[in-house]
Structure 1
Amino acid sequence: MAADQPIPVVTDLAGVSVRKYTTDQVILDGIDWTVRAGEHWALLGANGAGKTTILRLVGATMHPTEGTVEVLGHRLGRVDMRELRSRIGFVSSAQKVPVDQTAHTVVLTGATGTVQPLWRKYDDDTKARAHELLAELDLKDLADRPYGVCSGGQRARILIARALIADPGLLLLDEPFNALDLPSREDLIDAMHRLAATRPRLTTVTVTHHLEELAPNIGHALLLRDGRVLARGPVDEVLTGARMTECFGRPIEVGRLDGRWLARSARPRAQA
């Protein structure tokens, strides 16, 4: 793409609000947010801030109560949601996959968007592609290992390979580091960093609670508080101590070391 051409918009939320019909509870209130091709966003906020609801909107699994949501050039309400979802990769430790099947088979199910494999749908090229993705994510030797006996970190990377096999235009990661130990977390961060380097048009949105889980390629962040946007934009402008303190409601100190983020709760200094 020429340098003077605009970068395509992957998803755009304009004046988006979501309310529960039964109680009229406000879940999201007046959200404006634009994500462009090749950007990597972190979505942060306390529990109940609205992160999961935003992910459901951009993942084409629900409609807003007010406002417009456009994903991959299509406006929700004017597109077949099932077809749109086939172009969106989704990764969550809670998603259902066949735990008794091999890692290679689990990746194949991403090509059909099914829980169980549909063997007649997978040609030799698709099967080879699944092996390539496993190798790319340092899982080549696990191709024939049952998913259920893989470690948490290995499972997370298998699910990313599963999401990528359909060549999605958008990759959503819902707390992918949940319950991972330190080595597994670092392996996953390294894998995401490599993917960003080898796929310059890959667009990702990662929901997390911890700055330490952000890979160095994360360039933008959206902070939510009580269903509203507190801040959005480049990480250096958004992930500040002042804004994180306002977002989470307690004093937070933020730092950065070798491209990685650090955060801790600031404690009052003892009186002399």
Structure 2
Amino acid sequence: MTAVFDLTDVTIVRSGKTLLDRVSWRAEPGEHWVIVGPNGAGKTTLLQVASANMHPTSGTAEILGERLGSVDVFELRPRIGHTSAAIAERVPADETVRNLILSAAYAVLGRWNEEYDDEDHRRAMAMLAELGIAPLADRTFGTLSEGEKKRVLLARSLMTDPEVVLLDEPAAGMDVGAREDLVESLEALASDEFGPSLVMVSHHLEEIAPGFTHALLLSGGSVVASGPIAQVLTSENLSLAFRQRLEVTHDTGRFSARRPPLRRRAN
């Protein structure tokens, strides 16, 4: 079976700085991954490689069976859904939600003279309905709350029926209620046996939805641990990656991490 991602000793160097250092990572179909690590760990850089927007300085990267450097990335990228703060910043404030979803079919931001058939319109509304945001269809993007914007961009990333969806800190800037709405949406996607593989970058374990199966823990551009989520997201591994003592708890499918009380840290 062809891997979703198969990276071997991938190193990224930019302006003399090593952003990723010999990272190896293999993700199989049906797996849902979270990439965790402190600021500067290389998480977003790794997602740039996974989205076919950055080539390794050295090492090899295969995405959906295609090797970067020997594949037309413009043919590969439509097979990959992607949402991030950088994409949100490029959306015209006066673009309607419906048109934002539709325009994913042409991989553009800002509808112009493209033509869409009835199936395109049906699928756009189906994506909004699946994420519980169909009433937003005629709102403009600039009037949405932060949580609404993130869920709309998630719907857009699903428009082309991708094989994998990359989510770069999808809950950043959300309040608790909006975060829980997003977690619920991600749990529904992860539980769909016919849905795409999911890869989410996050700083916070509380944002990981039940249904995510694997984790990749990065620190300083290198892999600290990789594999089944419960084996990777441990107190020992998180403490090593974040260079401070942390305690990880896991209850009813949700993770959390915090420092132990002062009196226990002193012992």
Q: TM-score, normalised by structure 2?
A: 0.95
Secondary structure of 1:86's partner? helix
Cα distance between partner residues in 2 of 1:157 and 1:199: 21
Q: Is the 8 A contact 1:39 1:202 kept in 2?
A: no
Q: 1:243 aligns with which of 219, 225, 237?
A: 237
2:142 aligns with: 148
Q: 1:100 aligns with which of 87, 94, 103?
A: 94
Cα distance between partner residues in 1 of 2:130 and 2:178: 16
- Cα shift at 1:170: 1.1
Q: Which amino acid aligns with 2:214?
A: H
2:50 aligns with: 58
> Structure 2 stretches of 5 or more lacking a match?
none
Q: Which amino acid aligns with 1:56?
A: Q
> Structure 1 stretches of 5 or more lacking a match?
1-5
Number of corresponding residues: 264
Q: Which moved more, 1:262-271 or 1:183-192?
A: 262-271
1:36 aligns with: 28
Q: Is the 8 A contact 1:193 1:215 kept in 2?
A: yes
- Cα shift at 1:269: 0.9
Q: Which moved more, 1:90-99 or 1:253-262?
A: 90-99
Q: 1:201 to 1:87 in 2, by over 3 A?
A: same
Matched, 1:76 2:68: yes
Matched, 1:259 2:258: no
CA RMSD of aligned residues (A): 1.5
- Cα shift at 1:120: 3.0
User: For 1:17-36, what aligned pairs fall within 5 Å after superposition?
Assistant: 17-20=11-14, 22-23=15-16, 25-36=17-28
Per-residue Cα deviation, 1:31-87 (whole angstroms, up to 9, x for no partner) = 110011121101011111111111010110011011100001110000111221111
Q: 1:115 aligns with which of 96, 109, 123?
A: 109
Q: Which amino acid aligns with 2:178?
A: S
> Identity of counterpart residues, as a percentage?
43
Q: Is the 8 A contact 1:12 1:69 kept in 2?
A: yes
1:166 aligns with: 160
Secondary structure of 1:269's partner? helix
Q: Is the 8 A contact 1:112 1:121 kept in 2?
A: no
Q: Which amino acid aligns with 1:103?
A: V
> What stretches of structure 1 move > 6 A for 4+ residues in a row?
none
